[in-house]
Structure 1
């Protein structure tokens, strides 16, 4: 079981992160999540249809994990969800007046696999839309696809490839988090480009423009997120909150 001392350490980590969100929140910017009203109804329905099977699979995987013999499984799921919420709520202004933010999905992807992130992420995105005006309800499916479906699955593929190549575990976790972050923004750019194609260069031209808007801030943000993910992972393992043999 999780001891009182370890639980206090966990609360301190989450508390500091929440404080950072609170300090950052007064900044008024447009968030990288696709906002309410930006997608036509047909596209909203399309992205919800794509996200639904992954959400159902995530519920199945979460049920398996919760029923696992590891007594800290529920707490670690909560930690991964909080990690996604805190990092993806940090709206950092970009050079264009819009914003970029980390995604936080790398930790949960490494600990539990990509499936559960669709459920944890749906909860996070719902709370952000309702409480922080970050994202939207009609665009929830599209935001799920980019941040908590495509991101984690690509990150997991990078993680598995790195482990197959016998790369250092810390480097593998770092690359998992970085690529999961980057692919989220690539996916979002494509989602917006198909709805708002460039008059001269079509969808490809629009996607390049959307990617260019966020590249300046998102590249260093992803690197910082990768380093933070490795740090939190090491804290989890060193405090015996989770065993490496339990990794999915």
Structure 2
């Protein structure tokens, strides 16, 4: 995540940009549809984008000499489903590239694919699996947020391995994944805990909206207002 300018060959930048574009376009349409159909959700949309921006802007030094970031995309994927996060994540990454020098413009497509597409879809899959299995909301949030973080970095490792497959792809993938792993695994667990705290807060201040989206049941909604 946040592959810097110049780290990927031009052909790879173009390819990842082309791969990400349909998801981002579909996501933009999903955001417009959500805002038009449910105007009251605009504040929550903005909060999801802001949460992703703030969390993914936190740059932590890695014990391997690189750096690691939380992603924050799992929360938006749970609230609005992954297509919305493809667009919101793109906006976040664009602003970070322009304002914070995190990532780059030529590598935007690759960063979008890992953080705004792969991460949110993995998070939503885990969330649905836990909830369909009648698991508690907090467990689903924790796992979804942690998985979004880890999958983002797994995809980033694959992107770098494809660009630098010396001496072979699997060896390069193991090398790049190892650079992130020692820092990213505990960071993902912490992100899961932050997600639980966030949703506990949302249950208190936005229970009707969460209930309307099917994220909490009537009993939880009533308990939030008790």
- Using structure 1 for the length normalisation, give the TM-score: 0.83
Distance 2:115 2:32 in 1: 22
Question: Which string of whole-angstrom CA distances, capped at 9 and with x for unpartnered residues, describes residues 106-141 of structure 1?
Answer: 110111001111111111111111111100000000
Choose from 33, 41, 48 the match for 2:10.
Answer: 41
Moved beyond 6 Å, runs of 4+: none
Match of 2:212 in 1: 245
How far has the Cα of 1:243 moved from its partner?
A: 2.5
Residue 181 of structure 1 corresponds to 149
Answer yes or no: is 1:77 the counterpart of 2:45.
yes
- Which residues in structure 2 correspond to 1:96-135 (within 5 Å)? 96-135=64-103
Gaps of 5+ in 1: 1-31
Query: Who is 1:227 aligned against?
Result: 193
Matches of residues 93-172 of structure 1 in structure 2 within 5 Å?
Answer: 93-172=61-140
Q: 1:166 is paired with a residue of what secondary structure? A: coil
Q: Compute the displacement of 1:152 (Å).
A: 0.3
SS in 2 for 1:137: coil
Residue in 1 that maps onto 2:26: 57
Q: Distance in 1 between matches of 2:214 and 2:70?
A: 23
Whole-angstrom distance in 2 between the partners of 1:204 and 1:235: 42
Give the distance between the partners of 2:189 and 2:20, measured in 1 at CA: 27
- In structure 2, what is the Cα distance between the partners aligned to 1:230 and 1:165? 19
Structure 1 residues 5-56: Cα deviation after superposition (integer angstroms, max 9, x where no partner): xxxxxxxxxxxxxxxxxxxxxxxxxxx5110011111111100100010011
Q: Deviations over 1:51-97 (max 9, x none)?
A: 010011101211121012351x1111110001111111111000122
* Match of residue 35 from structure 2: 66
How many Å apart are 1:247 and its aligned residue?
4.5
Deviations 1:142-185 (A, max 9, x none): 00000010000111111111111111111011111111110000
CA distance, structure 2, for counterparts of residue 132 and residue 58 of structure 1: 24
Number of residues paired by the alignment?
Answer: 214
Matches of 1:130 and 1:203, distance apart in 2: 32
Aligned partners of 1:244 and 1:50: how far apart in 2?
34
CA separation in 1, counterparts of 2:8 and 2:65?
21
Structure 2 length as normaliser, TM-score? 0.91
8 Å CA contact 1:110, 1:247 repeated in 2 = no
Instruction: Report the equivalent of 1:24.
Output: none
Structure with bigger helix share is 2
1:91 paired with 2:59, answer: yes
